[in-house]
Structure 1
Amino acid sequence: MNDQRLGIRKIVYYSEETLLENGLSPAVPAVRATAAAVVSNPWLGGRATDDLNEEVIRLAPVLARKLTDILTNELGGVDAIQAFGKAAIVGTDGEIEHGAALIHTPFFGNLVREYFDGESIICFADDRADAGASLVVPLWHKNAAATRTHYQTITTRIGDAPRPGEIVVVLGASTGPRPHSRIGDRLTDPIVKADTLGELIS
């Protein structure tokens, strides 16, 4: 299906690499990136009780394929991608549920995991906002969600989107961990409870 029939107005790719953090180069250089599609909201003018499924099946799988392809090609292949996340910004004429419909169902999330060879649940953010709004997209490891080294974010912003009748659908990815990550791992943490900390929290 071509982009015009899907209602895609534009595709935006953004990436960044931190070369210095606190005066030092990261031991593991990593590129963080987003790929975003600006699409017409297919549910405008509907009722809050309408079934959204037909348009989800039509749109979400194509967006999953298109955005994962962009990130895979730009970041050096599936094996190079270590962390992922997803997001949606709904224009002011739409419902928050319209953005959720495009990113929170198996027709998007399951396919993103498959295309990225991932296993983790995909962390997410969503909002309703005017054009040009920023949204922080959370990322974590695609196969080991408890790995704190890959807890990071990337901010997405498109100057003219979403218009009131649009939705911005975003995928985020990273080729590595945060610079100088050193706060341990959830799987090897000590057991911490309030009653074991005693005077530290009193």
Structure 2
Amino acid sequence: MNVRKIVTVVEEVRAEGGRAVTPPATVAVTAAVIANPWAGAGFVEDLSPGIDAHASGLGALLAPAVLEALGAPAEAYGKAAVVGLDGEIEHGSALIHTLKFGDHFRKAAGATTLLPAVEKRGAAGVVFDIPLKHITDATIRSHHQTVEVRIADAPHPDEIVVGLAAAAQGRPQQRLAALATER
């Protein structure tokens, strides 16, 4: 795996809707900018060798890093892949939509739910939103949120940005009723 850089961003929301958020709502993102293992190879029918070579290593690299950056137990989580213009969206999907990648985060966070994802193709500096959901109960509305990410010089056309996001809580000032209240 050829990693050009790792970017970590921690966001702390201290006020929302004109009111203090106590404790501050914290979200962390850690992303690796890697060489796309399939770029320049034309259409690759079987992506399995690249998945086997890279997915688990990426998960092992990113999962502990994002949780360390969060500095608190994760209550919500998500993942992303942004493929440079010389690649296919399927290249990013191949890396993040496998248990070889996602189980590193699930185990580290003590999670049991589906790890929500976004994947897209874009030029360097493209903005992408990582969706987050509760780590053990996807019906908890307060934890359905997104975090916006942008890496100024990535992805290059032959790269993929692979990222994980974790939140220490739900949305700041959330006040929607529980899903079970709707019938």
Q: Is this a same-fold pair by TM over 0.5?
A: yes
Q: What is the percent sequence identity of the aligned residues?
A: 40
Query: What corresponds to 1:198 in structure 2?
Result: none
- Distance, in Å, in 2 between the alignment partners of 1:157 and 1:190 is 36
Do residues 66 (structure 1) and 61 (structure 2) align? yes
Do residues 116 (structure 1) and 116 (structure 2) align? no
Query: What corresponds to 1:26 in structure 2?
Result: 21
CA RMSD of aligned residues (A): 1.2
Do residues 10 (structure 1) and 5 (structure 2) align? yes
- Distance, in Å, in 2 between the alignment partners of 1:34 and 1:190 is 33
Q: How far did residue 23 of structure 1 move?
A: 1.3
- Distance, in Å, in 2 between the alignment partners of 1:177 and 1:49 is 40
Q: 2:136 aligns with which of 130, 133, 143?
A: 143
- Distance, in Å, in 2 between the alignment partners of 1:104 and 1:28 is 33
Contact 2:75 2:168 in 1 (8 A): yes
Do residues 48 (structure 1) and 40 (structure 2) align? no
Query: What corresponds to 1:159 in structure 2?
Result: 152
Q: 2:120 aligns with which of 127, 135, 138?
A: 127
Query: What corresponds to 1:194 in structure 2?
Result: none
TM-score by length of 1: 0.87
- Distance, in Å, in 2 between the alignment partners of 1:68 and 1:106 is 13
- Distance, in Å, in 1 between the alignment partners of 2:37 and 2:89 is 13
Q: 1:81 aligns with which of 74, 80, 105?
A: 74
Contact 2:26 2:70 in 1 (8 A): yes
Bigger strand fraction: 2
Counterpart residue identity of residue 65, structure 1: A
Q: How far did residue 44 of structure 1 move?
A: 1.5
Which 4+ residue blocks in structure 1 deviate beyond 6 angstroms?
none
